Homo-oligomer: A and B are copies of this chain.
Amino acid sequence: MWTLSDTTFTARSQAHQETIYTIGNGYLCTRGAMEEGYPDDRRATFIHGVFDAAPIVVTELANAPDWLPVAIFLEGERFSMATGTVESFTRALDLRTGVLTRAVRWLSPGGRIATITFERFASLADEHLLCLSCRVTPEFDGSIEIQASLNGNTDNEGLAHWRWQAQGESNGAIYLSNRTRQSGADVALAMRTQVEGTGQCVEQAFWNVQNAPTKMLKFAAKAGETVAVNKFVSVFTSRDTAAVVERALQHADTAITWADALDANATAWAGEWERNDIIIEGDEEAQIAMRFNLYQMLIAAPRHDDRVNIGAKTLSGFGYRGHSFWDTEIFMLPLFIYTAPHIARNLLNYRYQRLPAARHKAAANGYEGAQFPWESADSGEEVTPTWVTHFADRTKMVRIWTGDIEIHISADIAYATCLYHRITGDDAWFIAKGAEIVLDTAKFWGARAEWNAAKDRYDINDVIGPDENHEHVNNNAYTNAMAQWNLRMAFTVLDWLKAHAPDVAAQITIALDLNEARLAHWREVIAKVLIHQEASGLIEQFEGFYKLRPVLMADLEPRSRSAQEIFGIEGANHVQAIKQPDVLMMQYLLRDNYSAETVRVNYDYYNPRTDLAYGSSLGPSIQAVMACEVGDSEGAYEHFIRAARADLRDVRGNAGDGIHAASAAGTWHSVVFGFAGLRVAPDGSGWTIRPRLPAHWKRLAFSFFLKGERQQVDITAQTFGTA
């Protein structure tokens, strides 16, 4: 249950397969495109933090110079799965080690047969090391030529980001250096090839072709003998060092064998799985999907860099351009907080460093405090596109409002900050950095809430909640509740600081001007911010939601489009069709504030109104948890498996753009907080589980860390049956 594999290749699903066969090591990821190329492939390597300016989307991760290219010629015939006949094909990704292999028995147009295998991985033991091996076993006697290249001619779906800088050969290694056109980031690759196998290498040459330096190796091969070339590529960027070429070449000078590189990588991966694995017995699909989703998180997670974040599509595709959203803090961070706190801290440091940009955004909007951007990339400025061309009429522009008014992200970041502290007990970090995030976002909310004298309350008007089907709404329950939580938490944090780090408390009180008047104002906002709850416990998603035209998802069946597509962007604003359920998400995050009965009332109301099949990919995994909470076991599994399949089965038809990171991380929530029912005490002093496994599951086991101590959970059907 550790291997993802295919035995057929179809060009039609090429982009999807490239996404799911992505390899990586937290420094970079490389999509599963084929070494030799295939028409219309979307080959890409994304390196954390290497952004470049782009029209409309402001900035994007620049598709790095390509380290993959290997061209193979059998007696002059170039190998390609698009020509000749593919006699057999296997592709397999070993999730346990992150090694991608492909074996093809190929009949050339000229009638020559060879079995060609590729193996590749980005070393988790050495994040600057990329390894690729190519083996060719011909069924004929004749020449085999292998050309191993570095290729700087890459683009992001047509946008070229690189300018060539330098290339050459040094001490047997071939190097290439490029610079992004706008941001001026340098990347250098250095390549060393090794010949293995039994085939006789009769010629080697360096082809010093501009921006595609190539090592050519020619073999006099015999039928049945294997020609093998290993390609080791080292990579450095100007984010690592000023001397990118020198460092890449030095690194390439380190002698390494294929077996040693493979071993070191496997050992490093073993450590990751030791912390992160989730064992599911009785449901093979769930088991492999769970590991696949965790794998995708692990290859995208920065281990040695706290200046980057994980994009909504990880490093696995062009979608969302490498920008980070609340997806990180609400979906991905809990996974890391519980299983890999060092990664969680890196991701939170990224936000901490960008507090100045968040303050700038708040100030530009006329507010105090820190307002984090809806989409964040390198600088921490808002990088949400503001206008896009209407898909059907290019004389019309569509305004994207999320960057302006989807403001809940500031509370979401504060939430993750507090969660990190609660679960890890990392007081030093919280004193040095975390507290400031919570207090400065609170300051923003204090300024953002609007006094409504007529109704003696505070409103937060003109926002977009997580449910993006409804724009420009007033008093969105999720936003208001999270703002209220953030302000409350500010008092908790201040008290805690006074007790644990009085100097810092005093200093931050002055620095952020947390005077008594301000704190009194915060208390007012906490007390009077509108969250409209019926006597029944039902909470209105936003002011006026009940007055919208009622629509149940069942009414729309059969359908194959989202509710927003059915009603139109404008039309969807006027009906009760929800992209993802704000109220349930709020209850999920602030679970201790709501009774079981209140949760049930809201679940019963919002679940049938939520477009879980075609709405946001963020919806199903959390819905699974809430379904567990209310005892809807059928719904729980349906929501979970929908999230689990999102990328593996390309449920939404856009997995070619990259992994749905929040959905992938969300399955961890479904399993841990839903099926296992884990709850940690508010003060982090202990935990409980409340298992409610799907009926066919025989075992669920995982571990997590609480205040540095490893905790084991192992639930078997017997335990469950007797719970």
A: residues with CB less than 8 A from B are: 37, 39-40, 55-56, 58, 69, 71, 73, 147, 149, 151, 153, 155, 158-161, 163-164, 181, 205, 207-212, 214, 216, 386-387, 389, 394-395, 397, 404
Contact assessment for A160 and B159 in the assembled complex, using a CB-CB cutoff below 8 Å: yes
Contact of A210 among B71, B155, B397 (CB under 8 A): B71
Contact of A69 among B40, B210, B394, B404 (CB under 8 A): B210
Show 14 residue pairs from A and B whose CB-CB distance is below 8 angstroms, ordered by the A residue: A37-B210, A39-B163, A55-B389, A58-B394, A149-B209, A149-B210, A153-B153, A153-B211, A158-B160, A159-B159, A210-B212, A387-B387, A387-B395, A395-B404
Contacts of A163 in B (CB 8 A): 39-40
Q: Which residue of B lies closest to A52 (CB)?
A: B158
Could you list 6 further interchain pairs (A-B, Cβ under 8 angstroms) beyond the known A147-B208, A151-B210, A155-B155? A37-B164, A55-B55, A155-B160, A207-B214, A210-B212, A211-B212
Contacts of A58 in B (CB 8 A): 394
Q: A69 CA to B158 CA in the complex, in Å?
A: 22
Q: A397 CA to B69 CA in the complex, in Å?
A: 41
Determine how close the nearest CB of chain B comes to the CB of A82; give it in whole angstroms: 11
Contacts of A161 in B (CB 8 A): 158
Q: A39 CA to B164 CA in the complex, in Å?
A: 8
Q: Which residue of B lies closest to A37 (CB)?
A: B210
Q: Which residue of B lies closest to A395 (CB)?
A: B386
Contacts of A208 in B (CB 8 A): 71, 73, 147
Q: A630 CA to B397 CA in the complex, in Å?
A: 48
Contacts of A389 in B (CB 8 A): 55, 387
Contact assessment for B207 and A207 in the assembled complex, using a CB-CB cutoff below 8 Å: yes
Determine how close the nearest CB of chain B comes to the CB of A172; give it in whole angstroms: 15
Q: A40 CA to B163 CA in the complex, in Å?
A: 8
Q: A209 CA to B386 CA in the complex, in Å?
A: 41
Contact assessment for A209 and B147 in the assembled complex, using a CB-CB cutoff below 8 Å: yes
Q: A209 CA to B161 CA in the complex, in Å?
A: 21
Q: A209 CA to B160 CA in the complex, in Å?
A: 20
Contacts of A153 in B (CB 8 A): 153, 211-212
Contacts of A56 in B (CB 8 A): 55
Q: Which residue of B lies closest to A55 (CB)?
A: B55
Determine how close the nearest CB of chain B comes to the CB of A700; give it in whole angstroms: 47
Contacts of A205 in B (CB 8 A): 205
Q: Which residue of B lies closest to A151 (CB)?
A: B210
Q: Which residue of B lies closest to A166 (CB)?
A: B78
Contacts of A214 in B (CB 8 A): 207, 209
Q: Which residue of B lies closest to A403 (CB)?
A: B395
Contacts of A149 in B (CB 8 A): 209-210
Determine how close the nearest CB of chain B comes to the CB of A532; give it in whole angstroms: 32
Determine how close the nearest CB of chain B comes to the CB of A382; give it in whole angstroms: 9
Contacts of A210 in B (CB 8 A): 37, 69, 71, 149, 151, 212
